[in-house]
Amino acid sequence: MSEELVVLPRQHHVGISSNWPAAFTIGDEQVSSGLFTEGLVLTAVAPEHGHDGLSAFHAWGDGLTTRSRQLTVGSGDVTLDVEYRTPIDARHATDAAYRSRLGSPVGVEQGDLGLRSRVYAGAVAHWSPGTGVHFVAGAIGRRYAGLGGPAWCGPPTTDEARTAGLDGYVNHFSKGCSVFWSSAGGARWVNGHIRTLWANLGWERSFLGYPLTDVVKTVSGTGWMTRFQGGTVFWSSATGARYVRGATLTKYVAMQTDSSLLRYPTTHTTPTAAKDGTWQHFQNGSIFWSGSTGAHWVNGHIRTRWAELGWERSLLRYPVADLSRTPSGNGYLTRFQGGTIYWSSGTGARYLTGATLTKYTAMGAEATVLRYPTTDTTRTVNGDGTYQHFQGGSIFWSGPTGAHPVTGAIRSRWASLGWERSWLGYPTSDPFTVTVGRRQNFQHGYLVWNRSTGTVSAYRT
């Protein structure tokens, strides 16, 4: 009895081992392992990307960098190793300084085709198609994670880096945010228009220095602000981002900033033309500062009048007090180095200067018979004196005679004669009481008002 013997070819296991799953091809089959006949020549192909669509072919285990290779099935099993790298893997493998900073991975890479992250011993690496691979670390990394990480302001667009002065650190992020760290302020984030202004000024190298707060709501809740070492930037939709500095900032803060009547700044704190002070305009007023006067605010009609005169370059110069109510409570005043502006609804804003102001103040200002000024302090026609009219009279001044008020019927008679250009000249006294009524002396005579008749008589001396 005979038996038929079937001789089968010798077969061995051929497999591909990869750090990322991928659709490999061995021979004619899309498989990662199989039995193949000894001596058979096979082509093994590694796809360009792994199943995740992101990891990219790097090399076979023996260093071959072409994705397709040939092998002859030998007398034993064989496993081909292949390495795929994500962008995060690739940078860690090829950038020595980066690898030294981050250390070894302590977690697996996570994410999708739009965003991936991996935790290392010394930092966290993030990747996106638009930003590439960058890391956050230390206090900035902790702050970034606490704010929500990439969900908060996108992945980083820079690695954590030393600032220009080597006294801090910074990371920028894809949604227009930055986190700066300094010993003075810790890790603080800035974004939006405030960040843009600060960047245009030179970041932390500018006079503003480092941020001391994050971007936070203003006192009124209608805008945003960030405090820096050298000032504060305020933003509102109506005014944009403006910085406030020095004594102006101190004054503005004392007034409760944007919740005060000034509201938001419309300019930056700016040196005056003569460089001897600063000015800053707000939605409802201004703050002016000089070393000799301090910082004071002006607004309304008084501010308008001062502006018409030339601000601090005018004869009034800088304010020495804030705008305030007059003692009578029915008007406002602001005192300046060179005079005072009074305002009432009946007279508008008028300034007083020199001896006229001194006299008016000594008399009790608007609480007297004169009440509010209806003109500014003005040179007389001949230029040898000044006059100022009020609701209840006038004050005339000249060098030889000083400043004196003229009121009532005596004023009317003197006016009819031609004021100081008349033969009487300037007044040399205030009105005073005499037996028949009231009298006032002038350079070349005097006027007497008779209370019985109501007439005013003129006398030469």
Among 28, 158, 21, 37, residue whose Cα is nearest residue 84? 21
Residue by residue, pLDDT tens for the chain (461 residues) are: 567 776 678 999 999 999 999 999 999 999 999 999 999 999 999 999 999 999 999 999 999 999 999 999 999 999 999 999 999 999 999 999 999 999 999 999 999 999 999 999 999 999 999 999 999 999 999 999 999 999 999 999 999 999 999 999 999 999 999 999 999 999 999 999 999 999 999 999 999 999 999 999 999 999 999 999 999 999 999 999 999 999 999 999 999 999 999 999 999 999 999 999 999 999 999 999 999 999 999 999 999 999 999 999 999 999 999 999 999 999 999 999 999 999 999 999 999 999 999 999 999 999 999 999 999 999 999 999 999 999 999 999 999 999 999 999 999 999 999 999 999 999 999 999 999 999 999 999 999 999 999 999 999 99
Long-range contacts of residues 63-70, Cβ cutoff 8 Å, at least 24 apart: 68/43, 68/44, 69/43, 69/44, 69/45, 70/41, 70/42, 70/43, 70/44
Q: Is residue 395 part of a domain?
A: no
> Rounded to an integer, what distance in angstroms lies between the CA atom of residue 389 and that of residue 377?
8
pLDDT value of residue 1: 57
Domain span at residue 26?
A: 11-85
- CATH number of the domain where residue 59 is located: 2.60.40
Q: Is residue 333 part of a domain?
A: no
Answer whether 429's CB lies under 8 Å from 414's CB.
Answer: no
Q: Is residue 390 part of a domain?
A: no
Q: Is residue 57 part of a domain?
A: yes
> Rounded to an integer, what distance in angstroms lies between the CA atom of residue 340 and that of residue 359?
13
Q: Is residue 37 part of a domain?
A: yes
Q: Could you say which DSSP state residue 108 is in?
A: -
Q: Is residue 24 part of a domain?
A: yes
Q: What pTM value is reported for the model?
A: 0.89
Tell me phi and psi for residue 431, to 5 degrees. -60, 140
**The total number of structural domains that make up the chain:** 1
Q: Is residue 116 part of a domain?
A: no
pLDDT value of residue 2: 66
- Cα Rg of the chain, angstroms: 43
Q: Is residue 3 part of a domain?
A: no
